[in-house]
Amino acid sequence: MHPTLDIDFARSHFPAFAEPELANWVHLENAGGSFPAAQTIGALTGFYTKTKIQPYGQAGPTATAGKAMDSARNRWAKALNVDPDEVTFGPSTSQNTYVLAQAFGAMLEAGDEVIVTQQDHEANSGAWRRMAGERGFTLRDWQVDPVTGRLDPAGFDALLSGRTRLVCLPHCSNIAGEANPVAEITAKARSVGAASVVDGVSWAPHEIPDVTALGADIYMFSLYKVYGVHQGLMTVRRELLDRLPNQSHFFNAKYPSKKLAPAGPDHAQVAASSGTLDYIDALAEHHGIAANDPGERVRAVNALWRAQEIAVAAPLLDYLAAHPRARLLGPETCDDRRAPTIAFLPEKMSPQALEAALADRGFIVGASDFYAYRLIEAVGIDPETGVVRASMTHYTRGQDVSAFIEALDDLL
């Protein structure tokens, strides 16, 4: 087995890197959306070209379309270590959460408590906060450290009680970049009979999780950040799914994977979501990863991704942590719990001015609150201007990060 990721091989699977119009750009907004792998584009084009007919019929091409959708669902279920019935595809994570909140919220009443965090992207926060207003249950706000933006597990212990019905948390913040100890938190939630909703959008591009091992009753992420199609994928543990009120047409209530998908699925994108897994399989084969179990294979490839990302992110973290005119958010070192998602506040100019100056030099970064409005506010930053975020992934090259540091050195 190769000890390290063959990054040239990985990059050869992304048409964007061979695209002349993108040749002069360095993509450092991967937390906003990654480039899609060639396998994703191929699967999508293939579906649109050959099988764009109402699926699950008896005629050849419609049956093929249905099989491709089922295959994608089954493969993702294996990768995530859940049952295929536990997988729901929806237009986005925000929409999946919205529908989930309608369903779960209907089971809650006055006296019940839901823990939400200040660290979440609004997707896994606002929907629950709105439902509290409608249903009369009580919200418990798990607050972040006002300097680092981190969630202190002791803060969680103080909020958890026999009245807690649901715990909502991010696997990793899209600003502070640090993975939370999810398995510990979900176990504690379970010990008082509460369910857990984990937003994995910021973490899944770096490590596609074993959801069962994490103990998350509900786990959500967005495939368009995981080298794939623009869909949200949500897993809901079957025992909970069976109890949730149906949000789909009444006659679909008996199909677990349709209960939380009120709209018809995007057939092509569901089928083409397998492109991410095909890409991972290509990496596994190239690196001599022989695991037959799809979950094991995915996690072995993820280990290659992580080692590469950690090495590439380290110099930027070191640089920003030491810079007198930048306030770095989140941990200063990159280890296996930190995503290469690096947010900072420049002191001498607005985030937007720095974004524009970096764009002039060919770097794509973001400058925003990134919909983590409550977190930005809690760490004393104006959400209207937000922070600059440079986010990398396994295909980001060390030379691009060095050039980025040079540009920052001029501009900061």
Ligand X SMILES: Cc1ncc(COP(=O)(O)O)c(C=O)c1O
Query: Residues interacting with ligand X, by CB under 6 A?
Result: 92-94, 121, 123, 170, 174, 199, 201-202, 222, 232
- 297 alpha-carbon distance from chain centroid: 20
Q: What are phi and psi of 206, to 5 degrees?
A: -110, -30
Q: How far is the CB of 349 from ligand X (least distance, A)?
A: 24
Residue 81 vs 97, nearer CB to ligand X: 97
Structure tokens at 379: 């760490």
Residue 383 · residue 369 · CB < 8 Å: yes
Beta strands (DSSP E) in 58-142 are: 87-90, 113-117, 138-142
Residue 123 vs 328, nearer CB to ligand X: 123
Residue 209 · residue 217 · CB < 8 Å: no
Residue 55 vs 205, nearer CB to ligand X: 205
Structure tokens at 80: 């995530």
Residue 199 vs 309, nearer CB to ligand X: 199
Residue 68 vs 201, nearer CB to ligand X: 201
Residue 231 · residue 224 · CB < 8 Å: yes
Q: How far is the CB of 28 from ligand X (least distance, A)?
A: 15
Residue 174 vs 274, nearer CB to ligand X: 174
Given the structure tokens 């994995």, which residue do they identify? Answer: 200
Give the whole-angstrom CA distance, residue 210 versus residue 198.
13
Residues 6 or more apart from 398 whose CB is under 8 A from it?
311, 312, 315
Q: How far is the CB of 336 from ligand X (least distance, A)?
A: 19
Strands 366-368 and 387-391: antiparallel
Residue 40 vs 51, nearer CB to ligand X: 40
Beta strands (DSSP E) in 143-222 are: 164-170, 195-199, 218-222
Taking each helix axis as running N to C, give the angle between helix 38-50 and helix 60-80, from 0 to 180 degrees, rounded to the nearest 10.
150
